[in-house]
Structure 1
Amino acid sequence: MLKKFPDNFLWGGATAANQYEGAYNVDGKGLATSDMLTAGTVDKVRRITPILESNEYYPSHEAVDFYHRYKEDIALFAEMGFKTFRFSIAWSRIYPNGTDTEPNEMGLQFYDRVIEELKKYDIEPLVTISHYEPPFACTEEFNAWESRRMIDCYVTYAKTVMERYKADVKYWITFNEINSLTRPVGAYLEAGMLVDDSGTFNNMEVDSTQLRYQALHHQFIASAKVVQLGKKINPDFKFGCMITYHCNYPYTCSPEDIFLAQQEDQMGNFYCSDVQVRGEYPSFAKRFWEENNVSLAIQDEDLDIIKKGTVDFYSMSYYQPTTVSAKNEGLETVYGNIVGGVKNPYLKASEWGWEIDPLGLRYSLNHIYSRYQIPMMVVENGIGARDEFVNKTVEDDYRIDYLEAHIEAMWQAIQDGVDLIAYTPWGCIDLVSASTGEMEKRYGFIYVDKDNDGQGTLDRFRKKSFFWYQDVIKHNGLSVK
């Protein structure tokens, strides 16, 4: 028996320029915010350096060198059978300083070549316009998304790439994991903002709620403007929001825990997607602003722009759930992608402590679809692990088991009535971790010979999961054993 997915389902994989491309200063590219992040580990926090330090290692500078190996990698994706490939365009490769009057032609030519190679294999490009890599010059000049100036910079950049690829790209995501700005780590990671001069990357103690939510407002306007502009450039364009989604579980059945889980769901998940999908701030936003001393500078036309620039599809990353308790004294805590909570006694976890919950994906897809009723994509999902490279391969049955369980959950959600149209597992090829800068936290179907210190040949090797995923795509679903 085959658990078959809908015809024309978009199987593929996902990457981001700052974690994948390398060539950070090649062919006119400017510095991105990600280029100023030093290496870290699961125990050592990355630093933001205002200038590059000669004695520090910056993982994004070379990453895994897709810039020079794109043909080889795309051929491997095609061998797996990819129907789509999610990648981001490096903003500072197109506008090195963000404020430039003309784009960098050499940067555009690189993406010309990438898209041409994808077309050769009939792989649909799924382009993220901004994925954790604003130009650092904007941070230096006006603290990036703190300023409304960033809106025009973003629209100019997006217009350039949309006009360039209007005949080749159908699916666009305006901002990656935009709701990371509801968390302290999002200030620099998502919005390129320095809260202070400490160089702290993801320390919860360095934060400004006002700064983050004002930046979010600016991004909402920018996204809506680009959607409207894109529809004029090509009416067939489809735009999506992208949310790092966490299903929120109450630790107990106490009313306090259940209500706290609802509040986390509202502010962590739906605050952003309500604006981008429904075109207006949700009813619970006003109380949050008042209770957290957030005073948004909203100009007269802002809400009308947001209303007219809603997205066509909802895309999400899904890695782990979050369990919350109103009384968490003495409870063990865990941390995952962007958020943390208390340890769920019913779930196992990865080596990095990210809890594993396939049923939560089915739950989440149903929960989101019942709210919006628009097509959905799961554009990030996977398990980071220390792979053992032996005899030019990796026997990664743990990755196969993880992905198989989540694909099963997606199939069940489709049977439930969810309009799910794409699945692009994260890091389909090994790349640099955004949170820690590590290489040993691997997600890919393809092993890249590089270590945490930047040493290695960068040669590519197929893992066991490569052939398993190839079979899933070939049969458009899971074979029931």
Structure 2
Amino acid sequence: MNKFPKNFLWGGATAAHQIEGAYLEDEKGLAVTDVITLKEGSKRRITENVEPGHIYPSHQAIDFYHTYPSDLKLFKEMGFKCLRVSISWARIYPQGDEKYPNEKGILFYKNLFQEMRKNEIEPVVTLNHNDMPLGLVKKMGGWRNRQCIELFVEFAKTCFNAYKELVVYWETFNEINNILIFDYEILPFMSAGIKFKEGENKEKVTYQALHYQFVASALSVIEGHKINPKYKIGNMAAFNHLYSKTCDPKDQLLTYNLNREHFVCFDVQARGQYPSYLLKEWERKGIQLDINQNDLEALKHGCVDFLGFSYYTTDVVDSNKNSIKQEQTNIVEKNANPYLEYTEWGWAIDPLGLRLALNMLYDRYQMPLMIVENGLGAIDRVIENKINDDYRIDYLKKHLIEVQKAIELDGVNCIGYLAWGPIDLVSASTGEMTKRYGFIYVDKENDGSGSGQRIKKKSFYWYKRVIETNGDSLFGNIDEIEPNSANTKV
């Protein structure tokens, strides 16, 4: 009863701008994340260009661009079946609109994927993970411009052709729905290069940009299947669902409606059409978008092969806080669930919520699911070159037990679990290194100082045991951690 599927994809997930560094090396162009600073005060800042006096975490990150051979050996030691990485669009097309790709960028990822294959690690490759070329923002306003569709599809085709012997699993856009969190300016900029203008309708702008991304994704799926029919091309959206504060029907209805917003991107990319509830919402709000018949045909024929999603937390909805003028953030309460514990960054720790998420998605779409991000950001302390991160082990263990229940008891077709940040990396939300997720500690601080030395945490050995027993160790059938294991420098 405890077994995960025989070919379950155990692994981890990363992003180019959070690990690679080498931000201008080998003719790479600036990406949007290269002009986003470390958190200054309460939030990160977007600058027009790289400016003195600021720390830009993506410039160094953890130097994976140069250390990937040794880092992959550590992932192999843990027994990884797969690793999610992303291709920096600005490494392949430095300004985004060149006629020919940057061969040095093509070669870097070819070498990376070949090295992964040597280590028997299946690549899961995201085409756009928050790093579109800054040149496209400056020239055409990012994804508010329809021209980005053609440019992205050309980028996708270049990658599909270059790596068709090395990659099977692809994802088009990372957390594509984050663009809709338009009150936090960093997310629309990271997701789509969007900078809002004074007085414009932010909701209309973000939905228009999202539509262009939907079309680009669908056309890329179509082209990818032409290039290699064996390709499995998925989407990727954040799925952190909501609970009602009470059983008051008003709370229930509001929660239902807000949760539907989490389904929008899955509906379009899995079903090939816009859901009726969203079309009605646009009608009520007078939102008219640039959508043509060719777009709708592309969406219809470019449905994804599997659904990838991230899951970190859940929140609570209170209808008593709702008014016409209030924003969603005022009715979705943080730290409001008395049944849950919270992380140092205020995220609810909700393992059962992951089982619910898996069931909600599988009931609705009946498509293979891949958990492509889940993990705990925490402050790790190094004591005598050891990191005893039992809190991370506890977090992951409880989540994985719920994944197993969803598979075995509920019949969900979940094909993989990729822990976010298998090695410490730059936090996307804050730019910090001290918000650590990894099984492997990286000696880097927020300001970029540090040796870059890798140290195996206690969770390294725990996850290794989970993988080699295909999950049996989660249930106490087998010792979770080898008796003589110790945290060691690499």
After TM superposition, the score normalised by the length of structure 2 is 0.92
1:99 equivalent in structure 2: 97
Other structure's SS at 2:127 match: strand
1:352, CA displacement in angstroms?
0.2
Offset at 1:342? Answer: 6.1
Alignment partner, residue 134 of structure 1? 132
Matched, 1:461 2:455: yes
Alignment of 1:295-374 (within 5 A): 295-328=288-321, 341=334, 343-374=336-367
Decide whether the 8 Å contact of 1:249 with 1:323 is kept in 2. Answer: yes
* CA offset digits 1:53-88 (Å, max 9, x no partner): 111110000100000100011010000000000000
* Aligned counterpart, 1:13: 12
Alignment of 1:422-433 (within 5 A): 422-433=416-427
Q: How many angstroms does 1:344 deviate by?
A: 1.2
Instruction: Give, in angstroms, the shift of residue 51 of structure 1.
Output: 1.4
Counterpart residue type for residue 49 of structure 1: T
Structure 2 portions without partners, runs of 5+: 477-490
Superposition pairs for residues 47-446 of structure 1, below 5 Å?
A: 47-184=45-182, 185=184, 186-196=187-197, 208-267=202-261, 269-328=262-321, 341=334, 343-415=336-408, 416-446=410-440
Once the 2 structures are TM-superposed, how far is the Cα of residue 219 of structure 1 from its aligned partner? Answer: 0.4
Aligned residues between the structures: 465
1:150, 1:297 → 2: CA distance?
A: 14
Aligned-partner Cα distance in 2 for 1:425–1:157: 27
**Amino acid across the alignment from 1:345:** P
Check 1:385–1:52 CA distance in 2 against 1; reply closer, same or farther (3 A cut). Answer: same
Equivalent position SS for 2:171: strand
Q: Scaled by the length of structure 1, what TM-score is found?
A: 0.94
User: 2:114 is aligned with what amino acid?
Assistant: E
Q: Give the aligned residue type for 2:90.
A: S
**CA-CA distance at 1:340 after TM superposition:** 6.2
Partner amino acid, structure 2, of 1:221: V
Q: How far did 1:149 drift?
A: 0.5
Residue 474, structure 1, aligned to residue 474, structure 2: no
Amino acid at match of 2:59: H
Deviations 1:151-210 (A, max 9, x none): 01100111001000111100000000011122114321211111148xxxxxxx997111
Q: Which residue of 1 aligns with 2:484?
A: none
Shift of 1:341: 4.5
SS at match of 1:274: helix
Deviation of residue 345 (structure 1)?
A: 1.6
Distance 2:151 2:328 in 1: 38
CA distance in 2, matches of 1:263, 1:334: 12
Residue pair 2:335, 2:346 contacting (<8 A) in 1 also: no
> Does structure 2 retain, via aligned residues, the 8 Å contact 1:249–1:261?
yes
Percent identity over paired residues = 49
Which amino acid counterpart does residue 316 of structure 2 have in structure 1?
Answer: T
> Which SS does the other structure have where 2:319 is aligned?
coil
Contact 1:209 1:292 in 2 (8 A): no
Relative distance call for 1:349 and 1:96 in structure 2 (3 A) is same
> For 2:424 and 2:286, how far apart are their aligned partners in 1?
42
Query: Secondary structure of 1:4's match?
Result: coil
Q: CA separation in 1, counterparts of 2:249 and 2:179? A: 28
On the 8 A contact 2:335/2:342 being kept in 1, the answer is: no
Partner of residue 201, structure 1: none
Give the C-alpha shift of residue 275 in structure 1: 0.3
1:247–1:265 Cα contact (<8 Å) kept: yes
Answer yes or no: is the 8 Å Cα contact 2:134–2:193 preserved in 1.
yes
2:335–2:347: 8 Å Cα contact kept in structure 1?
A: no
Shift of 1:3: 2.2
Structure 1 residue runs without a partner (length 5+): 198-204
Deviation >6 Å, runs of 4+:
none
Is residue 214–residue 269 contact of structure 2 (8 Å, CA) maintained in 1?
yes
- In 1, Cα distance between the equivalents of 2:472 and 2:312? 20
Return the alpha-carbon distance in structure 1 between the equivalents of residues 335 and 424 of structure 2.
29
Deviations 1:326-368 (A, max 9, x none): 1138xxx998xxx864611211100000000000000110111
- For 1:180 and 1:103, how far apart are their aligned partners in 2? 28
| Alpha-carbon contact 1:334-1:353 (below 8 Å) kept | no
User: 2:335, 2:348 within 8 Å by CA — same for their partners in 1?
Assistant: no
Instruction: Measure how far apart 1:99 and its partner are.
Output: 0.4
C-alpha deviations, 1:396-440, integer Å up to 9, x for none?
000000000000010000011000001101011000010110010
**Aligned AA for 2:406?**
A
Distance verdict in 2 for CA 1:256–1:13, change over 3 Å: same
For residues 86-135 of structure 1, what are the alpha-carbon distances to aligned partners after superposition, in whole Å with 9 as ceiling and x for unaligned?
Answer: 00000000000000101000011111111111010111000000001110
- Asked if the contact 1:350/1:385 (under 8 Å) is kept, the reply is yes
- In structure 2, what residue type is equivalent to 1:238? K
Matching residue's letter, 2:120: D
Residue pair 2:305, 2:367 contacting (<8 A) in 1 also: yes
